[in-house]
Structure 1
């Protein structure tokens, strides 16, 4: 039987790696937009890009918090 905590930890590591890639992509997008777009378009681009990043990070964080609590509840029921 696989260790459920280890499986959750591996999934959290993968999600963290994907969020790191998202951050790098947004930094590059920010720099590229600064060079290529007008000031107004650049501001709109920043708000949309970083707003979406904030939503994604929030959803991923709450997802893994829920999973961790579910695993804890399942473990305490077995004990």
Structure 2
């Protein structure tokens, strides 16, 4: 009985360690003011179907809400 309980706790901790970053990323997408509704929808789909690759891609690229116009071009035109 004790062995089964120990394995269950290990699996639970592993599951929490895997699910938590995905849930936080989805929360971050929904509350990110730099993304419009279409980008939010696409990032959520990428997180759900892209698994770990979607997660890494969002945190390195998507969370900043990059546009096609760079910040330097905005400053020059403004």
Q: TM-score range by the shorter chain?
A: 0.3 to 0.5
TM-score under structure 2 length normalisation = 0.43
Structure richer in helix, relative to its length: 1
With CA pairs under 8 Å and 6+ residues apart, which has the higher RCO, 1 or 2?
1
